[in-house]
Chains A and B, each alone.
Chain A
Amino acid sequence: MLALLFILFAGLAIGCGLAVVAQRNPLYSAISLIGVFISLACLYVMLAAPFIAAVQVIVYAGAIMVLVVFVIMLLNVEQEERGRARLKFLVPTAVALSAVLIAEVAFILVTVQEFRVNPSSAPSNVGLTHSIGAQLFTRYLLPFEITSILLLMAIVGAMTLARRGGLLSPNARIVPGAQVLPLSMVDPNAEPDDLRPVAANTSEEAARTLGITKRD
């Protein structure tokens, strides 16, 4: 029964993984990647690690991939054209690297076959939420906190990049979904292709929001 489920989900993961690379449409690739993540989560459940599985679905499939799909939809990325291959040296590199990967997998398979450990019959509670929490907040507290600080830095970095000083006046507000006006429509001195999102319904209102006084 377990073997059957393993074959099912492993096959799904590999199939979706191939589709990620093979698809021309970026949205199809993204959906395939979601499929990979969910199949992996199912495999984690079978390996008695339900917490990791849930986190995998929530964080990767539910949050990160939503952002990826969101960006693809926003930018309206077109289907990739099969153009002239420019970086030709990548093909032999890829073949060599995949050969190394296959060799590694084969090595592990052989070693595992040689040193077979009898699985203990007692149910393991390593993958349960309680034991993971206890370990995270005692033994691995420092790495855990450092990771949070790393994430905080990323957030602060993104914020600084998004609102770099001087680009927008302090009373300007960016509203998601609001229209994007070329700045040249409100500011005669601006570059013609300067696109800046402004929450406004008319160009006059946008000029006011940006603090630009219109010169005639």
Chain B
Amino acid sequence: MDTAIDIVLKLVAITVAFTVVLLIVAYTVLAERRVLGLIQGRLGPNRVGYGGILQPFADLLKFILKEDIVPDKSTRFIYFLAPVIATMAALMTMIVYPFGPEIAIPFTNITIPLTIARFDIGLLYVLGITSIGVYGIMLAGWSSNNKYSLMGGLRSSAQMISYELALGMSLIGVIMMAGTLDLGQVVENQSGWHGTHWYILFQPLGFVIYLIAAIAETNRVPFDLPEAETELVAGFHTEYSAMKFALFFLAEYINMFTVSMLATTLFFGGWNVPFLDLIFTRGTFIFGLVSALGFVFKICVFLFIYIWLRGTLPRFRFDQLMNFGWKILLPLALLNIFITATLIFFFPNL
């Protein structure tokens, strides 16, 4: 009986978390269009609802109602499977992140953790699921039976394989300092010094490498070669229309959200809001609520950086991309591991 209640509770938690995240993602799209407008000296969408606040729903309606065209010579099954893999993989990483500390529900004596699932290998789980996400893009490129799609898919997989290495290596410094792969524990470790013991203070190089590699992993500007519109029409999703295109679109934005979440969790203290424990007692409802809001705020800052970069930077050339990933980022990440190991050896109490 207890397992049944447990499963129901988990399902509720998953539904709530996914709804919140998808809402934030929907509004990221709107924010991107408005901020890009601001950067480029125009207005952006501001007609649907007050200041364009209902634009995401109008977009969704449009995507659902549009005609869904399947290319004649495509490999049907894989063509349908690819967007599903991309979105599923993007959503699945969501469950391990600690959205906030344990909170006590008011007027009861129940405390619930603001994490859907907490396990020993949280970080490895994230990396594993992220690496599954590559298939969505690769298979989409292959199954469309279109040379632009295929080129986009190949480029994307080459890029993601290369930058996954640098990404994984840049995280090892944090793992060594935290001594665990459990994301909840990593955040707990950062709550010292009244919630300002963030790993960014000790791992600035690791963070920079992570940020760059994460942008490349999500195929965003300046690393958006898989869908370079001047060369490849639209890259791997050239042949996708209506809701299937929307799924790829969604996957890209969810991925942006999750890499921002990982950056916040590992480098910026997760839900730790500086000096909050001086104002509220730990474990109370209000403490948990403010912490969770702080977590979301930090993620939004990262999302803004993404949009900002898109509005300001030109695109890499493919050989520059490969040289940068293999010859600069990867050695730097290894150097970071070496420095961190040396520092930990001499100052174990840092």
Contacts and interface: CB of A to CB of B under 8 A. Distances in A.
A41 B128 CA distance: 11
Interface in B155-191: 155, 157-158, 161, 164, 180-181
Contacts of A70: 138, 154, 157-158, 161
Given A27-B78, A34-B135, A66-B134, A58 B319 contact: no
A177 B131 contact: no
Interface residues of A, number: 32
A98 to B, nearest CB: 29
Contacts of A58: 124, 127-128, 131
Contacts of B319: 173, 175, 178, 199
B121 A66 contact: no
A54 B138 contact: no
B242 to A, nearest CB: 24
A18 interface: no
B322 A176 contact: yes
A55 interface: yes
Contacts of B142: 27, 69, 73
B295 to A, nearest CB: 24
Contacts of A170: none
A58 B171 CA distance: 15
A129 B186 CA distance: 15
A93 B114 CA distance: 57
B150 interface: yes
Contacts of A50: 119-121
Nearest to B129: A57
Given A27-B78, A70-B138, A55 B124 contact: yes
Given A175-B322, A176-B158, A177-B318, A54 B125 contact: yes
Contact of A54 (B121, B135, B151): B121
Given A31-B78, A74-B154, A66 B161 contact: yes
A62 B132 contact: yes
A1 interface: yes
Interface in A61-90: 61-63, 66-67, 69-70, 73-74
Nearest to A127: B120
Nearest to B161: A66
Contacts of B120: 50-51, 128-130
A173 B318 CA distance: 13
Interface string B111-130: 00000000111001101111
B134 A62 contact: yes
A61 B132 contact: yes
B153 interface: yes
A61 B128 CA distance: 8
B3 interface: yes
Interface string A176-204: 11100000000000000000000100000
Contacts of B180: 129-130
A177 B158 contact: yes
A66 B124 contact: no
Interface string B268-300: 000000000000000000000000000000000
Contact of A73 (B3, B124, B131, B150): B150
B162 to A, nearest CB: 9
B172 to A, nearest CB: 12
Given A62-B130, A128-B120, A129-B180, 12 more contacts: A41-B128, A50-B120, A54-B127, A62-B134, A66-B161, A67-B161, A70-B154, A73-B141, A129-B124, A177-B158, A177-B318, A199-B319
Interface of B: 3, 75, 78, 119-121, 124-125, 127-132, 134-135, 138-139, 141-142, 150-151, 153-155, 157-158, 161, 164, 180-181, 318-319, 322
Interface of A: 1, 27-28, 31, 34, 38, 41, 50-51, 53-55, 57-58, 61-63, 66-67, 69-70, 73-74, 128-130, 173, 175-178, 199
